[in-house]
Amino acid sequence: MEWRDVQQHWAAHVPRVMTRWPEITEEEALDVDGDRAALTRLVAERQQLGQNAADGEVSDWLMGLEPADAIMDETRDDERISASQADISPGEDVYSDDREFGDDTKPEPPIGRTG
């Protein structure tokens, strides 16, 4: 996961921050507002760590996969809708009749069998 993704959708990642560092309150996490340095300072303060150790903890957290609840957060709906155009076949547009592009015909029965 890239920090810019976390920063853009910070509110969606707040529950994950609170799970990883239970000492951090929701209000404190929201106040970070996607600023990595602020998160590192907060982790250092709450965990009683040095800045380098806290930065390592934040880096380790960042290395994890982006959880489904963060990906599916309603604040990212527009982004996901825009990205869905990559799944449209060449020659098709969003208003095309699906029957022209899908396999809506009745399949042939397997060899040796009758329908």
Structure tokens at 7: 């920063």
Report the CATH number that the domain containing residue 53 is assigned in CATH: 1.10.1470
Domain assignment present for 29:
yes
SS (H, E, C) 10-50: HHHHHHHHHHHCCCCCHHHHHHHCCCHHHHHHHHHHHHCCC
Within-domain flag for 16: yes
CA distance readout (Å), 21 to 41, 42, 79, 92 = 13, 10, 28, 47
Q: For residues 24 and 9, what is the distance between their CA atoms, to the nearest angstrom? A: 18
Q: How many domains does the chain have?
A: 1
CA distance 108 to 43: 62
- Residue 99 pLDDT level (bands cut at 50, 70, 90): low
Residue 12 included in any domain: yes
Q: 108 pLDDT exceeds 80?
A: no
Q: Is 38 inside any structural domain?
A: yes
Higher pLDDT, 22 or 99: 22
Q: Is residue 79 part of a domain?
A: no
Host domain of residue 23: 3-71
Does some domain include residue 90?
no
pLDDT at res. 89: 73
Mean pLDDT taken over the chain: 84
| Residue 50 maps to a domain | yes
Which of the two residues, 74 and 106, has the higher pLDDT score? 74
